[in-house]
Amino acid sequence: MRRFDKSFTQQEPLPEEAIEAAVEVMRSGRLHRYNLADGEKGETALFEKAFAEQLGVPYALACASGGYSLQLALRACGIEQGDAVLCNAFTLSPVPGSIHAAGGRAVLVDILDDTTVDPMDLAEAARETEARFFLLSHMRGHIGDMEAIMAVCETHGITLIEDCAHTMGAAYAGRPSGTFGKAGCFSTQTYKHLNSGEGGVLTTGDPEVMRRAVMLSGSYMLFDRHLAAPDPESYGDVRLMTPNMSGRMDNLRAAVLRPQLAELQRRKRRWNALYHRLETRLEGLHPVRLIRRHEKEEFVGSSLQFLLPTLSHDQIARFVSGCEARGIPLKWYGKPLPEDYTSRYDSWGYLGTNRPLPNADRLLATLCDLRLPLTFDNEDCDFIAQLMSDAMEQATDKTNTP
């Protein structure tokens, strides 16, 4: 049996400039973001400034993780204990986890056939719960109908917070992902668009939200050492009334991120070239159904999703096993028990009783996901598609059916 030998989780080496910057920080010994020499701005503050400028927003705060940035955004936007927070039924576990950690109660919203949130069900959930917050996950890099979503939020007085872990560098109708809501939350975990191992960024145009976020993140009284935050003189009582929930990014991680940020647009073009190559090869593979994207969406294709709606559970299981035997680890959301990262709402038992989600149930039963690291090339995409075709032929061969 032919087999693909490259790793789907192997990232590119860090740029030499990032390595040199990290070494310089280590030689200084000043890894903590507020441990600075006289006149030194610090890698974390410089990264925040560069990130805010690239996104086109006034404020950015580097955090310990993307999940922490979600918790921070909810708290800075005013969540109270027991508040209902709407979120996609199809998302990653840190999203409802952040709602729970911030004291909220996650209320799931159904999805459309393109896996993005259903604006009609969003409106229905808003009426049912009178929720004040919607934590919108652009799951696996798919951006939904933002005009319809924003209209629902405005009608019901809902504060929108965007989870942009999979959409750094993406846009909708020319507007960058992360700039629609009160706050945008990004991840720099290894498998995201920038790699610091772990990390996150919170962005906003609201000075009060950023003042609270800076204090919550653990600035002590050192908020004057930020370059993408409100004027230090504006903190007033916020500095005395906001708890410290330490979750800062350190200078070492920021040092490896800043050179990568300058490469984001070039990486985006490379990811999309791989995405389109594999998408083209899979279009003719029956019964694969690719996820169609909104015409106004400008995406970053670091992973590819597809559905197998006409296959039985057993056939999908054979196909996934056949792909794995050929060195292609597919994430199938229809498996009865969670594996690796969890994205099925029924594996988050702490949520308790939730709303009916018929479309999510139907789609997740046959939805598959494939990473596309930048260590791949066009020939790799061609070979992967051929091996998937071989696995599909074997899985759907009636002579193999018990």
pLDDT-derived band at 399 (thresholds 50, 70, 90) equals low
- Whether the pLDDT of residue 143 is over 70: the answer is yes
- With a cut of 80, say whether residue 342 has pLDDT above it: no
The arithmetic mean of pLDDT across residues 270-297, rounded, is: 96
Which of 142-151, 257-266, 340-349 shows the lowest per-residue confidence on average (mean pLDDT)? 340-349
pLDDT of residue 34: 98
Mean pLDDT, residues 303-316: 97
- Residue 227 banded pLDDT, cuts 50, 70, 90: very high
Q: How confident is the model at residue 42 (pLDDT cuts 50, 70, 90)?
A: very high
- 400 confidence band (pLDDT: 50, 70, 90): low
pLDDT at 291: 95
Question: Which of 146-155, 321-330, 347-356, 366-375 bottoms out in mean pLDDT, i.e. has the lowest?
Answer: 347-356
Tell me where in the chain the CATH 3.40.640.10 domain(s) lie: 16-260
- What pLDDT was estimated at residue 71? 98
What pTM value is reported for the model?
A: 0.96
Average pLDDT over residues 13-33: 97
More confident residue, 353 or 246: 246
Inform me whether the pLDDT recorded for 333 exceeds 90. Answer: yes
**What confidence category does residue 402 fall into, taking pLDDT thresholds of 50, 70 and 90?**
very low
Structure-model confidence comparison of residues 343 and 76, the more confident one:
76
For the segment 172-187, the average pLDDT, to the nearest whole number, is 98
Banded pLDDT at 215 (limits 50, 70, 90): very high
What is the per-residue pLDDT for 146? 98
CATH class of 16-260: alpha beta
Q: How confident is the model at residue 353 (pLDDT cuts 50, 70, 90)?
A: confident
pLDDT average, residue stretch 75-99: 97
Averaged pLDDT score across all residues of the chain: 96
160 confidence band (pLDDT: 50, 70, 90):
very high
**Is residue 401's pLDDT more than 60?**
no
3-state secondary structure labels for all residues of the chain: CCCCCCCCCCCCCCCHHHHHHHHHHHHHCCCCCCCCCCCCCCHHHHHHHHHHHHHCCCEEEEECCHHHHHHHHHHHCCCCCCCEEEEECCCCCHHHHHHHHCCCEEEEECECCCCCECHHHHHHHHHHHCCCEEEEECHHHCCCCHHHHHHHHHHHCCEEEEECCCCCCCEECCEECCCCCCEEEEECCCCCCCCCCCCEEEEECCHHHHHHHHHHHCCCCCHHHCCCCCCHHHCCCHHHHCCCCCCECCHHHHHHHHHHHCCHHHHHHHHHHHHHHHHHHHCCCCCCEECCCCCCEECCCCEEEEECCCCCHHHHHHHHHHHHHCCCCCEECCCCCCCCCCCCHHHCHHHCCCCCCHHHHHHHCCEEEEECCCCCCHHHHHHHHHHHHHHHHHHCCHHHCC
In this predicted structure, the answer to whether residue 339 has a pLDDT above a threshold of 90 is no
Predicted local confidence at residue 72, as pLDDT: 98
Q: Which CATH architecture has domain 264-400?
A: Alpha-Beta Complex (3.90)
